[in-house]
Chain A
Amino acid sequence: MDIRSTRCYPHHLWGGDQHLTPKPAVKVEDLQYTYQDGTVGVEYANLAIDEGECVAVVGPNGSGKSTLLLLIDGLLKPTKGRVYVFGEPMVEKNAKKLRRRIGLLMQNPDDMLFNSTVQEDLEFGPAQLDMPKEETSILIDKAASRLGLEDLLNKPPYRLSEGEKQRAALACILVTKPDLLLLDEPTAQVDLNSKRIILRILNELKAEGKSIILTTHDLNLVPYIANKVIIMDKSKRVAAKGGLRTILRDIHLLQTCGLEPPDITKLFLDLGFREPPLTVEEGVEALTKVFTYRKLNIWSEGSYSA
């Protein structure tokens, strides 16, 4: 398979038909970016993400996922191509206005926590947006209780654990009430508890209708958050994009791009399931069906469809 050409699945598989007239939150056209030292950041990217969608950009390390997010946020200027956010081109004169609606979570939370205390870091964003102090206090209290940060507000960020830092960094962007969230590896290097909290918050944000683009190389996580997947490969191109199930069940495509399907999917594919589950919960459901309808004869038959 030639993965240098983007594999696009039909639009109805993306779940885009949920909206009658979906408005694109982000549109990327022929995007290319080369760093000053000549290193290619993004080779070629074309994609459109509708408002209210949650899209996972997956790919191995160094495939240009983080650079793509920085380009969407207007922090890097594309070498070629254009980025549109909420229908407006992300150019220097628009950047400030558009960034008021964007929340970027950087890969390393230390980069985002640069004040003396967590409280000061949380106040930073709203202060720049001239939000009234009273409103900011309410938003900070809300974000802190959602992310379990109540006892950490007066602590210096460098005293926090990695999970706490990541939650604090996420709170920093939530307090600015963004419509579009760009999350760079939101669950990397965090403990199980923090991962659960972050996943819960992301699902709540999705339910609130926020548009979310997150990058990850952990495909086990993707089915719990995203409804679309974009794959970037080592050549720093968008190798494929499509619906969650279509992409995550295409083991050949994933392996060509240096990725592995979710563990549970791989297990069921190996067992011969034609439509393997993507999450543990779906796996339990599939097995329950098998046990219920076929009793315990599962091993005597060749393959099963969940």
Chain B
Amino acid sequence: MQNLDARVKLLGLAALITLTIFTQNPIVQLSILLICYTLSYLSKISVSRIASRSLTIITPAFIIALPRAIMSLNTFSANASSFQPFSEGLSYLLLFTLRIAAASTALILLISSTGFSKILSSLKWFKAPRMLLWVMAMTHRYLLLLTTELHRLALARESRVHKDLKIRGVWREGGRMLATFLVKSIERGERVQMATLSRNGETYLKTYYPNLKLGAEEWIFALLVVTLIIFGVVTSI
């Protein structure tokens, strides 16, 4: 996956994500999931890491859809002669979770195997709006920087706190830390902006296009995606 042309990869995985949205067939969803995990295994991307990352998306999705199944359970109690209402709710829950799992796994596979600048330049190649790209670039940059800043701040604080705080103390300390974090974020943002300007960065940041490479790997990947799409469309009709 890492060696695939970023544009082919982006287009292929975006097509799979779209397929998860439009098809209700669990076999298609399972196939997408299976292919994503197989590709990550073949590309030596940690399968457990992909699973744990997608779990952070699947779990809230499962919780959101859970009431639907529970509400169906009540219907089942009222109508004991048939299993239909309950199984409908449960199957909805399972299918919804499965669709989220397939889409999120495809997305995580894309992120895990492609540098962010390559994703951006591929989107630029596909003529994505400039403003969207700029917002994506800035969000990504500052998210990374602020995460490291917060991590540093938390470590520095932890190294100096030698007593267990009560709830009020935790809130007070947390508030102070948040204030410091905000001030530091602004300062850091200013310095990074200066570094960007000093290297001739403008409002619209330029990136290099990756060279378009259409080798055997790209064709195999494209064939796999097209087969899945045809399978999905045929089973949905």
Expressed in whole angstroms, the minimum distance between the Cβ of B199 and any Cβ of chain A is 4
B contacts with A: majority SS: helix
> Does A130 make an interface contact (CB < 8 A)?
yes
- Within A207-255, the residues touching B (CB, 8 Å) are none
Interface residues on B, range: 20 to 34
> Does B182 make an interface contact (CB < 8 A)?
no
> Does A108 make an interface contact (CB < 8 A)?
yes
Among A75, A100, A106, the residue within 8 A (CB) of B200 is: A100
Most buried by B among A114, A117, A123, A158: A114
Expressed in whole angstroms, the minimum distance between the Cβ of B113 and any Cβ of chain A is 12
Q: Could you mark each residue 185-217 of chain B with 1 if its beta carbon is under 8 Å from any beta carbon of chain A, else 0?
A: 000100110111111111001111101000000
Expressed in whole angstroms, the minimum distance between the Cβ of A101 and any Cβ of chain B is 10
> Does B115 make an interface contact (CB < 8 A)?
yes
Cβ contact within 8 Å between A133 and B208:
yes
Cβ contact within 8 Å between B194 and A106:
yes
Cβ contact within 8 Å between B194 and A116:
no
Expressed in whole angstroms, the minimum distance between the Cβ of B13 and any Cβ of chain A is 18
Cβ contact within 8 Å between A176 and B199:
yes
- Within A100-143, the residues touching B (CB, 8 Å) are 100, 102-104, 106, 108, 110-112, 114-117, 119-120, 123-125, 127-130, 133, 136
Number of interface residues of A (CB under 8 A): 33
Q: Residue on B with the closest CB to A127?
A: B206
Q: A128-B200, A128-B201 are in contact. Are A115 and B117 (CB under 8 A)?
A: yes
Among B117, B195, B205, B209, the residue within 8 A (CB) of A111 is: B195
Cβ contact within 8 Å between B195 and A114:
yes
- Within B121-143, the residues touching A (CB, 8 Å) are 140-141
Among B145, B148, B199, the residue within 8 A (CB) of A128 is: B199
List, in ascending order, chain A residues with CB within 8 A of B76's CB: none
List, in ascending order, chain B residues with CB within 8 A of A127's CB: 205-208
> Does A11 make an interface contact (CB < 8 A)?
no
Q: Could you mark each residue 80-119 of chain B with 1 if its beta carbon is under 8 Å from any beta carbon of chain A, else 0?
A: 0000000000000000000000000000000000011100
List, in ascending order, chain B residues with CB within 8 A of A130's CB: 206
A108 to B149, CA, bound (A): 13
> Does B220 make an interface contact (CB < 8 A)?
no
> Does B144 make an interface contact (CB < 8 A)?
yes
Among B115, B188, B208, the residue within 8 A (CB) of A116 is: B115
List, in ascending order, chain B residues with CB within 8 A of A173's CB: 199
Cβ contact within 8 Å between A110 and B194:
no
Q: A116-B144, A133-B208 are in contact. Are A96 and B116 (CB under 8 A)?
A: no
Q: Residue on A with the closest CB to B210?
A: A133
A129 to B207, CA, bound (A): 10
> Does A99 make an interface contact (CB < 8 A)?
yes
Q: A106-B191, A128-B206 are in contact. Are A116 and B116 (CB under 8 A)?
A: yes
Q: Residue on B with the closest CB to A156?
A: B144
**Can you report 8 A-B residue pairs in the complex whose CB atoms are below 8 A from each other?**
A96-B200, A100-B200, A104-B198, A110-B145, A110-B148, A111-B191, A114-B144, A172-B199
B: residues with CB less than 8 A from A are 115-117, 140-141, 144-145, 148, 188, 191-192, 194-202, 205-209, 211
Given contacts A70-B194, A110-B145, A125-B199, 8 further A-B contacts (CB under 8 A): A75-B197, A99-B197, A110-B148, A114-B145, A128-B200, A128-B202, A133-B208, A136-B208
A: residues with CB less than 8 A from B are 70, 73, 75, 96, 99-100, 102-104, 106, 108, 110-112, 114-117, 119-120, 123-125, 127-130, 133, 136, 158, 172-173, 176
